[in-house]
Amino acid sequence: MRRAGRMVAEVLMLLRDRIRPGVTTLELDRIAENQCRKWKVKPAFKGYGGFPFTICASPNEQIVHGFPNDVPLLEGDILSIDFGLICDGFYGDHAITFPVGEVDQETRRLLEITSQSLQQGIDAARPDGFLSDISHAVQTCVEVAGYSVVREFVGHGIGRQLHEDPQIPNYGKPGSGPRLRPGMTLAIEPMVNAGKPGVKILDDGWTAVTVDGKRSAHFEHTVAITDNGPEILSRMDV
Ligand code: MG
């Protein structure tokens, strides 16, 4: 799991270094796919439920599951990239919303709060805590800031499968659901809308966008619960 986590982090850092105005999300998709080929590992999303690409690339008002395409990114855009792979039978799953060039202050705040809500969710993933402690921590951070959590998509257990039980909603009261135990591995992934929480799916059957057209951000880490607390696996220094 650590190896898979390090690899997904490395790919997202590769992509981060390429993101700038004029680049297309299809180019980013190819970079991710080539890196997988180089490592002889399998991208996790391509073919999953029929998803046709290596990365999910969701700009601006797209929330998740966007298709890479040949439309150049513009200065001031944001781009959510979600990427997973399988290494030696284990999955890693990781997402970051990147600014394209300089973004306005309100957008910067959306990215900061979403990233913060992920960190608070991770901090709540303590051995002998409850699953919904994670949900509650994310929701509180987001709503205190005046934003909305997306309810239609959830975090999940991860390991030998990409999506395992339990589901991890980004909202809920603390102190319920399964107990958290050392050895559990979870993908925690707040999706945060700047405006209303509603979601609609485009005609491609995949791309989720905000109903009000406002922007949305998505941050995700693969996390292990250890005796000493949560450990982020999707990072380069593990
Ligand atoms: Mg995930």
Domain parsing of the chain, residue ranges: 2-232
Q: What is the pLDDT of residues 200-230, one digit of tens each?
A: 999 999 999 999 999 999 999 999 999 999 9
3-class SS of residue 29 = helix
Q: How far is the CA of 136 from the centre of ligand 1 (A)?
A: 18
Q: How far is the CA of 107 from the centre of ligand 1 (A)?
A: 23
To the question of domain 2-232 being in CATH 3.90.76.10, the answer is: no
Q: How far is the CA of 14 from the centre of ligand 1 (A)?
A: 19
d(CA 41, CA 24): 24
d(CA 192, CA 89): 31
Q: How far is the CA of 148 from the centre of ligand 1 (A)?
A: 19
pLDDT greater than 70 at residue 126: yes
Q: How far is the CA of 82 from the centre of ligand 1 (A)?
A: 8
**Mean of per-residue pLDDT scores for the chain:** 98
Residues lining ion ligand 1 (Cβ < 5 A) are 93, 187
Q: How far is the CA of 135 from the centre of ligand 1 (A)?
A: 15
CA separation, residue 94 to residues 75, 82, 86, 204, 218 (Å): 24, 6, 12, 23, 10
- pLDDT recorded at residue 237: 83
